[in-house]
Amino acid sequence: MKLIIKYISIITIMFNTPTFAGDIVDNKLWSESNNQFKIEINSTNKGTFFTDNWSSKLTAVKCQIIDDKCIEIWKIKDFSQHVYESVIYASSSLKTIDLNNDNKQDSIFFYSVSKDGLDPDILKGMFHIDDKKYAIRGTIPKHIDNISDFEYKFDKSFKSLDIKVVLKCKELWDSYVNSIFLKNIN
């Protein structure tokens, strides 16, 4: 019984305690082949928006939990120090899924570099397949009437993937982008 309680306590601590600076905006914890893994996404905004002291940062980290420590596997940092931009995590977009059918969990999440006003946002879809980063980046208009401003492109790294995996990533990208436009229509 003590072992089970200790295990639950460790998981609770690891899940709710920030691994890196910033507020946790999302995280996932899972087991795979008797190993524990965690992905944590943190957000930090400093200063006052639209002033010279403003900065916005997003950090995403995947780690393996070994002996109650989080051993980093990969990390993504993105930030903006422009007074009119924020780096914003797309709420609840973090998913773990086996994209290439190798019985290991890959990950996907979305975030944007959002500008004040009517300028389009920069949307980024981050895919980690076998712990290697693949990104789709696009310009997303803020209003459906500006749909002609929409464009996106795959990183060159996608060329190394099987076409079925690339198509699955595009399907996930399209699904997320369509959900953005559906929110703007309603």
On the question of pLDDT at 144 being above 70, the answer is no
Q: What is the pLDDT of residue 140?
A: 84
Report the domain count for the chain.
1
In terms of residue numbers, what domain contains 43? 2-185
Whole-prediction pTM: 0.85
Paired strand residues for 64: 37, 71
Range with the lowest mean pLDDT among 58-67, 104-113, 145-154, 169-178? 145-154
pLDDT greater than 90 at residue 165: yes
Question: How far apart are alpha carbons 165 and 16 in whole angstroms?
Answer: 32
Examine the pLDDT at 7 and tell me if it is beyond 80: no
43-78: b (≥16 Cβ within 10 Å) or e: bebeeeeeeeebbbbbbbbbbebeeeebeeeeebeb
Task: Report the C-alpha gap between 166 and 158 in whole angstroms.
Answer: 7
Q: What confidence category does residue 146 fall into, taking pLDDT thresholds of 50, 70 and 90? A: low
